[in-house]
Amino acid sequence: MDLLSPARFPDYELIDSGNFEKLERFGSYVTIRPEPQALWDTSSDAREWEKLAHVRFIQNSSYAGTWRKTKPMPDSWVISYPLGSGAPLSLKLALTAFKHIGVFPEQAPHWDYIYEKTKALAADGTTPKILNLFAYTGAASLVAKAAGADVVHLDAIRQVVTWAKENMELSKLSDVRWVIEDAMKFVKRELKRGTKYQGIILDPPAYGHGPEKERWKLEENINEIIRNVLQLLAPQRHFLILNTYSLGFSALVIENLLRNNKGILQIGELYLPDGGGNKLPLGVFGRFAYGC
């Protein structure tokens, strides 16, 4: 099993973690956010955290909360992520009511993988077709687009897709196909159409709802959607990434879901190292590539 963390992300740093919180730098600004996986003691004391932080998220319910600023900072700002020899991605961040700010930095190893595999698929002059399901604010979609792909970006939440469009424009990219729909419905329709993709990316939530209140629960729906998604892969050359963040979800589940494929399967965990030497676990993944 592989443990992956970002190799290069100058605009991000996990400064410290512990006591169910994390202290992070995004560009010029430092945040304090809840983190249920940080069960250990922090490396520095609370005074040091307060000295560094610009803003802290105060949880008011299991889903939402408010931000308390302790230093001047904007409600939204932009960070960059380097992409090989190409122009960097520009990603807008914002203080939302749900503690998320628009990027999951632990996903950076997957962004590098997407860039590498898409470049390899496009090396013969063809335009690979990439599907990004549960695509959030679009970093993975934009990586694939920057590498030369024709990208379909799907998310159930209209405001999140609008945010992804802003990231596309900030990154000086264009022509991503935006889809606001339930992922399962879209995949089943693509199967009927006989559509094939050279790359498929999935980062499903533990639970959620589609635009028409379709119910999603990871444990109940993941087997069906993976079974269908595998049939959408182009037979000759392809890659797939499945990432899940659910407390207690084993990488062995991912292995069992993906083991019947043509590529060499890599499974493991994503984590972020903090300044005190701790490794903050942030999801299990499986990925494979064939012919690229």
Residue 23 has a pLDDT of 98
Find the helix packing angle between 183-193 and 218-232, rounded to 10°: 20
> Is the pLDDT reported for residue 262 higher than 90?
no
Q: Which residues are registered as beta bridge partners of 17? A: 22
pLDDT band at 203, cuts 50/70/90? very high
CA distance 35 to 136: 20
Rounded CA-CA distance 54/32 in Å is 8
Please determine, for residue 117, whether its predicted confidence score (pLDDT) is greater than 90: yes
DSSP line for the chain? -EEE--S--TTEEEEEEETTEEEEEETTEEEEEE-TT--S--SS-HHHHHHH-SEEEEE-SSS-EEEEESS---SEEEEEEEETTEEEEEEEEE--TTS--S--GGGHHHHHHHHHHHHHHHTTS---EEEEES-TT-HHHHHHHHTT-EEEEEES-HHHHHHHHHHHHHTT---PEEEES-HHHHHHHHHHHT--BSEEEE---SEEE-TT--EEEHHHHHHHHHHHHHHHB-SSSEEEEEEE--TT--HHHHHHHH-SSSSPPEEEEEEEE-TTS-EEEEEEEEEEEE--
Taking the CA atoms of residue 42, residue 44, residue 45 and residue 46 in that order, the dihedral angle to the nearest 10 degrees is: -80
Do the domains 103-290 and 2-76 match in fold?
no
Question: Does residue 7 carry a pLDDT above 90?
Answer: yes
Q: Which residue has the higher pLDDT, 87 or 198?
A: 198
For residue 247, what pLDDT band results from cuts at 50, 70 and 90? low
Q: How confident is the model at residue 2 (pLDDT cuts 50, 70, 90)?
A: very high
Segment 45-54 shows an average pLDDT of 96
pLDDT tens for residues 139-196? 999 999 999 999 999 999 999 999 999 999 999 999 999 999 999 999 999 999 999 9
Question: Which residues on neighbouring strands pair with residue 207, listed in sequence order?
Answer: 217
- The whole-number pLDDT of residue 73 equals 97
% of residues, the chain, pLDDT over 90: 86
Domain limits, the chain: 2-76, 103-290
Contacts of 123 (CB under 8 A, 6+ apart): none
Query: Rounded mean pLDDT of 94-113?
Result: 96
Report the CATH number of the 2-76 domain.
2.60.40.1180
The model's pTM is 0.95
Is the domain spanning 103-290 CATH 3.40.50.150? The answer is: yes
